[in-house]
């Protein structure tokens, strides 16, 4: 199991360091059955990297550039993420796909660049409410998957299925719907020549009340948690509850 905390645009350095050190304190010395990674904003990465040094919690970035260096004002490269101690990067989150019009092709390029830098891309996919209401959720996710996962399908990457309508809404698909989509994603990945063991996370309104049920679904390999990951005690207890 893999539990990831996506902090989004939250926390200054003091708040972020406190949040990370509280999570660390909560889980230290306890029996853990999951890998944990947190994804603070770029400005906190360096300080939090120090907080997490030699700990069981890994660090990740929330995005990266398609470029390695040069005249690209505002960009952060995958190698810069590696430089501050990141092992993972979230790519193609729906807030970037929709808010910044990121295309599948762009996300794929970022995923390739990240992999080449030795950082594991977490490629996000998921349908909108409108697409689900039209019965198009599987075809939307298939198009996103086939066009935004890295070229080197044998290399390391993770998929996060996050229905857009479940993000920050307090609403989640039911277990049968989650299972159906995960089976679909596994089938698409396998039939397009990908490794059998690609990990797939569920994301969208995961909290302390629903995490056990969602994570008990055989197909689900972990969770990408937004809002609840800003609460150190709740995030820690989700991690500690993993069987």
Active-site residue, from 67, 95, 162, 177: 162
Candidate ranges 28-36, 79-87, 148-156, 200-208; the one touching ligand PGA (CB under 6 A): 200-208
Q: Where are the alpha helices (DSSP H) in the chain?
A: 13-27, 42-52, 78-83, 94-99, 104-116, 129-133, 137-148, 175-191, 211-215, 232-241
Task: Indicate whether 203 belongs to the interface with ligand PGA (CB under 6 A).
Answer: yes
Q: Which of 104, 144, 205, 211 binds ligand PGA (CB under 6 A)?
A: 205
* CB atoms near residue 193 (< 10 Å): 8
Task: Indicate whether 211 belongs to the interface with ligand PGA (CB under 6 A).
Answer: no
Task: Indicate whether 155 belongs to the interface with ligand PGA (CB under 6 A).
Answer: no
Candidate ranges 15-23, 102-110, 137-145, 220-228; the one touching ligand PGA (CB under 6 A): 220-228
Q: What are phi and psi of 91, to 5 degrees?
A: -130, 145
Sequence-distant (6+) residues with CB within 8 A of 155 are: 115
Query: 164 with 132: CB under 8 angstroms?
Result: no
Question: Residues 5-34: x/- map of binding to ligand PGA (CB under 6 A)?
Answer: -x----------------------------
> Residue 28 catalytic?
no
Give CA separation, 101 vs 8, 80, 135, 182, in Å.
Answer: 17, 24, 23, 25
> Residue 162 catalytic?
yes
Q: Which of 38, 111, 200, 225 binds ligand PGA (CB under 6 A)?
A: 225
Candidate ranges 42-50, 103-111, 198-206, 235-243; the one touching ligand PGA (CB under 6 A): 198-206
Three-state secondary structure call for residue 188: helix
- Tell me which residues are annotated as active site: 93, 162
């Amino acid at each position: 199991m893999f539990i990831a905390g996506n902090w989004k645009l939250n926390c200054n350095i003091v708040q972020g360091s406190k949040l990370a050190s509280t999570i660390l304190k909560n889980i230290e010395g306890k029996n853990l059955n999951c890998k944990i990674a947190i994804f603070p904003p770029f400005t906190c990465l360096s300080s939090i990297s120090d907080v997490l040094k030699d700990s069981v919690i890994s660090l990740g970035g929330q995005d990266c550039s398609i470029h390695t260096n040069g005249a690209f004002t505002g960009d952060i490269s995958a190698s810069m993420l590696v430089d501050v101690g990141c092992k993972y990067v979230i790519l193609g989150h729906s807030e970037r796909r929709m808010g910044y019009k990121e295309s599948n092709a762009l996300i794929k390029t970022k995923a390739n660049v990240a992999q080449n830098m030795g950082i594991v891309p977490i490629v996000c996919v998921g349908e909108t409410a409108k697409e689900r209401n039209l019965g198009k959720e599987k075809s939307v996710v298939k198009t996103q998957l086939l066009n935004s996962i890295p070229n080197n399908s044998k290399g390391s990457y993770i998929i996060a299925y996050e229905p857009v309508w479940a993000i920050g809404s307090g609403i989640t698909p039911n277990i049968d719907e989650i299972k159906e989509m995960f089976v679909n994603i596994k089938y698409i990945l396998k039939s397009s020549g990908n490794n059998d063991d690609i990990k797939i996370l569920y994301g969208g309104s995961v909290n302390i009340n629903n995490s056990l049920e969602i994570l008990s679904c055989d197909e689900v390999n972990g969770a990408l948690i937004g809002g609840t990951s800003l609460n150190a005690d709740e995030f820690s207890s989700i991690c500690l509850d993993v069987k």
